[in-house]
Structure 1
Amino acid sequence: MIDQAHYRDILLARKRELYRRLNRIDTDLDTLKSADSADRAIERENDEVLEEFGHTGLKELEAIEAALDRVAAGTFGICAKCGKPISAARLEAVPHAALCEECIASL
């Protein structure tokens, strides 16, 4: 039996960390840019990387919210596709996993 409270705590901690990270990214993106054109080119490249990190973070936040909804519904740890239990090893690696190893491999 999966300890849903344990995973809820892990998910909430990760959610807080992602919000902190996304706030730092927003702050960095809002920082005034250099007047030097060479520096601005480097800053634009850095901004693109930060934006990708932000996009990835937002996608993970969505997955965490869905996992927290599954915790609340009592369905956390059950594959959303086949209905079989998701292994503890998979949940330790990806706490917001919605699919078991077999179903994720078949995508």
Structure 2
Amino acid sequence: MNDFTERMREVLLAQRAKLTGNWELEHERFDEMIHQHDGGDSMDEVSTTNDKKILEQLGATMLMGVQKIDAALARMENGTYGVCVKCAKMIDKERLEAIPEAAMCIDCQRAITSHH
């Protein structure tokens, strides 16, 4: 693993730890709120339902982020980190520094994004 890839690996691991740490913190806060509102009125139930939906969305976002990071770490392990998964060209280092989990070069990413 070269110095650049090693540096990006450290960044990815830090991002992963932050994502999972934030998720655990939010989950703990939600559990505390539920226990405080046991036996509440119907407005509390509505609020709790909305909080559950927000927590689920946060969880889905966190999971997607972790999956992208894990995929980038796997590419590092198999020596394909920095190679576009679509066209096999090298991804610019500047792009990887901005988005360390990037799997595609900017051209391929733009092509996909513009079709959606």
Normalising by structure 2, we get a TM-score of: 0.82
2:41 aligned to which of 13, 36, 45: 36
- Residue 15 (structure 1) aligns with: 16
Q: Which runs of 4+ in 1 moved over 4 A?
A: none
- Residue 6 (structure 1) aligns with: 7
C-alpha deviation, 1:22, in angstroms: 1.9
2:14, 2:52 → 1: CA distance?
26
- Residue 24 (structure 1) aligns with: 25
- Residue 105 (structure 1) aligns with: 110
Percent identical: 34
The one-character-per-residue Cα deviations of 1:40-65 (angstroms, maximum 9, x if unpaired) are 21222122112101101101101111
3-state SS, counterpart of residue 3 of structure 1: helix
The one-character-per-residue Cα deviations of 1:1-39 (angstroms, maximum 9, x if unpaired) are 871001000000011111111212332343425212212
C-alpha deviation, 1:77, in angstroms: 0.9
Letter in 2 for 1:37: S
- Residue 91 (structure 2) aligns with: 86
Normalising by structure 1, we get a TM-score of: 0.88
Aligned length: 107
RMSD: 1.8
Larger Rg: 2
1:50, 1:89 → 2: CA distance?
33
Letter in 2 for 1:91: L
Q: Which runs of 5+ in 2 are unaligned?
A: none
**8 A contact 2:68–2:101 mirrored in 1:** yes
The one-character-per-residue Cα deviations of 1:61-99 (angstroms, maximum 9, x if unpaired) are 011111001111121111011111111222122110101
